[in-house]
Amino acid sequence: MNENIKLPLDIKLINGLSAGMIVLIIVLALIFLAKNLKTDIADLRGIVITGDSKYQNPSNIRDAILPNISGGIIDVNLVVVKSVFENLPWVRSATVKKVYPNRINVSLTEHLAVGVWGDSDEWKMVNAQGEIFEVGSDELEEFVRYPKFVGSDSQSVQIVNMYQKLKIMFSPMNTQISKIQLSPRGNWSILLDNGTHLELGRGSVEQIFENSKSALQTSVKIVEKYGKRVEDIKYLDLRYQDGYAIQMSGVSLIESPSSKHTINDK
């Protein structure tokens, strides 16, 4: 063993090794391993991580992986290493392999978040596949810029599918969904970033989409009729069997398919 070899204990983050690739090189505390695990320092020189590392913290990775590395390259349990990486915040999957004589390669795939999950401070998010995952409590900026998804964990895929469908409908209106919720009784509701609250009722993704699309088209005509703007719609309730209720700044009414409505000045 070469007692004169000196290796840094920190983790190096290196960017730009190839287009679209962020490479994170972890240099392990091999002197620690050599002294405490009686392993030849030449057995394991480091772990090279490629793929997604946008949300990875070098210090967290080091603290997570070092206690789970024992022995030399032959002794490393890849199942354990894979599990350690897949339990890091934002990591969706990890591919791990040994590269002889002295290295481990890890390729990470991170979650592609579409929103914050839940109405509480549990630091959870949901990805485009409807999978719920945990993130660090220090990532407040991520929570602020994403919409909120509320419902049972078992309904996460359904809620994400509904969100993806409905957001297309609101894009031409220069507004976005800031919250989507599916109640225990199956009622859908959304809140837009301009403050408009919509009660969409029950039904499949396609049914809700078609009902909402029709109601919004009629609502645009109504606001123009009363000299209002789309932004003046504060509340839209589609749960009525024969029509829907609209509340605008200064005016509220119930609209039916036959265009009969009741107006109340506010």
How far, in Å, are 131, 132, 158, 160, 208 from residue 113 at the CA level? Answer: 9, 9, 15, 11, 24
pTM greater than 0.85 (yes/no): no
**What percentage of the chain exceeds 70 in pLDDT?**
74
pLDDT digits (tens, 9 = 90+) for 48-72: 889 998 888 778 888 888 888 877 7
HSE (side-chain half, CA atoms, 13 Å) at 165: 16
**Of 125, 102, 100, whose CA–CA distance to 114 is shortest?**
125
Which residues in the chain are classed under CATH 3.40.50.11690?
113-265
Interval 110-162: pLDDT, tens: 999 999 998 767 789 999 999 999 887 676 677 778 999 999 999 999 999 99
- Select from 3.40.50.11690, 3.20.20.70, 3.40.30.10, 3.10.450.200 the CATH code of 113-265: 3.40.50.11690
Is the distance from CB of 53 to CB of 22 less than 8 angstroms?
yes
For the 11-110 domain, the top CATH level (class) is: alpha beta
In the chain, which segments carry CATH 3.10.20.310? 11-110
